[in-house]
Structures are given as C-alpha cells and as structure tokens.
A and B are shown apart, each in its own frame.
Chain A
C-alpha cells in the first residue's frame, strides 16, 4: 500500500488530524441512559406482542407466564449525573425508589444526598432511618421517612408530600401539603395526594411482577402508587405471572385473575369479590 507523501488519502487524513476524543464520563453517562431506554423499549415490545395472548389466557386461568423483566437498574453509590429527556426514569436509591420526570437533571452527591439541577423528582422510601436530602437552589429538602415530589421551577421550588413529612428551610410539610419556597418566602397549602398531578409518578413506577405475591400485597402497592387508600373485602390469594406490568396493567391482571371488581371513589381504591 502506498502511504508516502504523495498518497492523497494519507495526506488528507494527516491534514485532518485525529478526530477529537470524547470525555469518558460523558460517554458512560449517555451510554447508561440510552441502554436503559433501549432495554425498556425491548421490554415494552415484548409485552405488546404477548399481551393479546395474555388477555385471552387471563380470562381462563389468570395471568400467563411470560418472559421475565429485570427490576429497575440500581443507582450507582455515587453517580455524577442522571438526566432524563423524553422519558421518565425510575431507579433504586438508598433503599427506596427515585423517579425522575421528563427533562430532569439530578446529580447524586453521596449515598444520601442529591442535587436537583432541573425538573422534578419523586422519592418513596418506606424504610425507617433512611432519610435523604435533596439540594436545590431554593434550599434543601430533607425527608423524614416519606414519599414526596420535588419540582424545581425557574422562580421557586415546589414540594408536595404524599406521606410522612419533609423539612424545607425549617418549615415542615406533612402528608397532603404543598410547600412553595421562593428566594424570599415559604408558603404552604393543602393538596390532594392523588389525581392527574401525580400521574407522571405512577407512570414512572418500577414494574410490578405478580408471581408469588398475594392479591392484598399487590393491591396495597397499587394503592400506594395511585395515592389511594385501599378498601377491600374477601379472601386473599396468591397470584402468578412473570410479566413485569405497569400499575394499571397490574391492577387489571390481578383483579381479573382473582375474580374481583375494582372501582375508585374519591381517594379510595375499593375492591370487592364478584357477587
């Protein structure tokens, strides 16, 4: 092969110089995010392909066995930055689930502290003594065993508490409270803990797998995700099915398999045996 000075290809490549290398940290960060999106997409497609068959079988014997899906990826102990663009994301963090709304950037600073750069997060942790702190430009949000949303806006920070309590700049917000902290003041008001404003959190929930769980356990989890109080009667039973399901899919599958009816009234999820 001719690679002497008169070789035009050699000359052009040398003239161009090496293509700039990319920052390894950025590359790893994007790789993680895209891989998560790709895996979720593959799972969704599998679910779509198989859902028709599952629906038929559910009317006969409950929920079908299908290919398993992995639980949400565990967050690294210290991840520099987690970003979401077109999709929500749910990760395990400090024993709870951390959900990120569209267009959110969050930096995990330590195993128990994170900085919200933009967008909104929701954190749910039932484990006592696992308090976390979210830093924002408008102050820190410190939880004391709870489920809460932190949304960063240009002019203020909004914190909505679904369960337990959080502290923002010395003001405590309990369940059913919304705090808005601007640069100069913190105000609070009472809010509903379910409804459309919470929908993104339900949509970002980790998948529910029914296999081996009791009907009661699944319904309680669904009620928590929807911010509702479970009210049910009738015997319990063990459910089957390896398919990872969204909250609404799990509700449909579990109630179909158990032969019970379900309705939502106000803030109650009411489940009854078919008469």
Chain B
C-alpha cells in the first residue's frame, strides 16, 4: 500500500468517526508539525497554538483530502498558512530562521554539495530529522532505536509488538524509505 493510499484509508476511517484512527492520526502528525512550526514561529506557545489550529482546521475539512500527497504534506501546507495568519494577526514579522527545506534555492544548493563533509552538521541533522518525521508508520522510531539507542532487533521487535523477523523486515523497509526520502527530497545520496 502506498503512503497516499494508506493515508486515504486513514482519512476514510476518521470520517466514519473511528476513535483508533484519530489516535493514529494525532500520534503521526502532531510531533512532526510541532517540529515544523517551532523554528518558524520562534517559541513553544506559538507553535502549540499554530499546530492546534492546523489540526482543528484539518479535521474539519478532512473530506477535502484527496490523497494526492501524503497526509503529512497536506497538513504541512495548512500549517504553513496558519503560520502566515499567526503573524498577520499579530502584525509581527516572522523570525529569521534557516528553513532550507522550505526554500528551493537552498535545497538546490544542498543538492550541489555532494559530500557530507561540506555540509553543516547541524543543518544535515535537522534535515535528517525532517526526513525521519515524514517516514510512514514507526520507521523513524525504529531507525532511532537502532542507530542512536543501539537496540537489538529483538528489543525493537518487543517495542513494536512484532516477531523478530517482522521487525527485521520493518527495519529494512525503514532504511529503504529513509534512503528514498532523503535522496528524493534533497538530492543527497544516503
């Protein structure tokens, strides 16, 4: 099942009033949206406000989600508009932040870099976290457990309530998804 197809299915369940679907929807989208909004609005209170508005608006117009892009991409588009509204209403100027994932010219510059050594470690780290946020299911968590926490496949399997074979398979898919997403979005081979 493609991400968009899985997301369409999730939205269909949400429209039917499925509580489990809401939990999945919120758990999958809240943290990535906060991490998207935070550097753009500058503080946690504002990020909370913007993300809450985004999600409230999204659940009201779920029926307009066509599955042409991933659900998180759709939510991010709404969030971007809410951030603009946030600053317009307060007659404030958005903070100057380095938002390379948002600017095509910087994205192009990243693509031209080619080697990891020439990139700013912090910027690469932030991009990697954005990619992890956008991976489907628990892929991002699984990769963090594996490579940051050093968990074994058996430990990851236990956390995901999967058989070890299934966890191993999930990690393989997570790596492939990470490689594809990182390469597709930023043109840098992982």
Check: A35 CB closer than 8 A to any chain B CB: yes
Q: Are B56 and A85 in contact (CB under 8 A)?
A: yes
10 A-B pairs besides A9-B175, A12-B124, A83-B49 with CB distance below 8 A are: A8-B116, A9-B190, A10-B146, A12-B182, A13-B146, A13-B147, A16-B126, A27-B30, A37-B56, A42-B15
Known A16-B126, A31-B26, A85-B49; judge A9-B179 contact (CB<8 A). Answer: yes
Check: A18 CB closer than 8 A to any chain B CB: yes
User: What are 25 sample pairs from A and B whose C-beta atoms fall under 8 A apart?
Assistant: A8-B190, A9-B175, A9-B190, A10-B146, A10-B147, A11-B116, A12-B128, A13-B178, A15-B128, A16-B125, A17-B125, A17-B129, A17-B148, A19-B35, A19-B140, A30-B52, A30-B55, A34-B56, A35-B22, A35-B26, A41-B59, A41-B60, A41-B62, A83-B49, A85-B52
Binding site for B on A (CB under 8 A): 1, 3, 8-20, 22-23, 26-27, 29-31, 33-35, 37-39, 41-42, 45-46, 83, 85-87
List residues of chain B with CB within 8 A of the CB of A26: 44, 48
Quote the shortest CB–CB distance from B90 to chain A (angstroms). 12
Binding site for A on B (CB under 8 A): 14-17, 22, 26, 30-31, 34-35, 44, 48-49, 51-53, 55-57, 59-60, 62-63, 116, 121, 124-129, 132-133, 140, 143-144, 146-148, 168, 171-172, 175, 178-179, 182, 189-190
Q: Are B44 and A23 in contact (CB under 8 A)?
A: yes
State A45–B171 Cα separation when bound (angstroms): 40
In the complex, the chain A residue whose C-beta lies closest to that of B17 is A42
Q: Are A33 and B59 in contact (CB under 8 A)?
A: no
Quote the shortest CB–CB distance from B20 to chain A (angstroms). 12
Q: Are A13 and B34 in contact (CB under 8 A)?
A: no
B129 CB contact (under 8 Å) in A16, A23, A30: A16
Q: Are A15 and B175 in contact (CB under 8 A)?
A: no
Quote the shortest CB–CB distance from A173 to chain B (angstroms). 31
Q: Are B129 and A83 in contact (CB under 8 A)?
A: no
List residues of chain B with CB within 8 A of the CB of A27: 30-31
B172 CB contact (under 8 Å) in A1, A11, A83, A86: A1
In the complex, the chain A residue whose C-beta lies closest to that of B149 is A18
Q: Are A13 and B26 in contact (CB under 8 A)?
A: no
